[in-house]
Amino acid sequence: MLQRSRRIFLILLILLLLGACASAPYTPHEVSDVPEVPEAPETPAVLAPPEWPALLTTSAARELMDSGTPFVLLDVRTEEEFADVHIPDAVLLPLDVLREQASTYLPDKEIAIIIYCHSGRRSAEAAMILIDLGYHAVFDLGGIINWPYETIVSD
């Protein structure tokens, strides 16, 4: 399990570094500021340093999604917003119920979680909630308004 966690962490770190040059509307922390995680037998390699959640650019998110690395794409908007438009394969868990229902819908605290909302405010708040709940690989994608790839739009 630790080997798998190290592999996921290295893939995510590479993707973050590749996307570090892209601009983003909201930047809680620059990807280049992420320190190396110290190795310790009792500490999973994907344990996020205190500076996380890291902002994930759209191109880095797309690369992660296409890489085969296990992840959850989490939409924290309302049901109505999700019904209007969402990214394919996204899981809806609105921000107002995230803290209470995270363990039900996100049982694996080691898996990469890519969070988005409409503009980036709720995704940043959701990322902090998940980190507070003990999730280790939390990435803030920001808003769907910046997503240049495929979306599912209602008719």
Q: Which fold has domain 2-153?
A: Oxidized Rhodanese; domain 1 (3.40.250)
pLDDT the model gives residue 12: 55
DSSP H or E segment with residue 72: strand 71-75
pTM of the model: 0.68
pLDDT at 55 over 80: yes
Out of 112, 117, 127, 130, the active site residue is 117
Local confidence band at 154 (pLDDT 50, 70, 90 cut-offs):
confident
Per-residue pLDDT at 66: 94
117 catalytically annotated: yes
Q: What is the pLDDT of residues 71-92, one digit of tens each?
A: 999 999 999 999 999 999 999 9
* Domain ranges, ordered by start, for the chain: 2-153
Residues 6+ positions from 41 with CB-CB distance below 8 Å: none
Say which DSSP state 114 is in: E
Cβ–Cβ < 8 Å for 46, 5: yes
Q: How far apart are CA 45 and CA 5, in angstroms?
A: 6
Q: How far is CA 17 from the centre of its chain?
A: 15
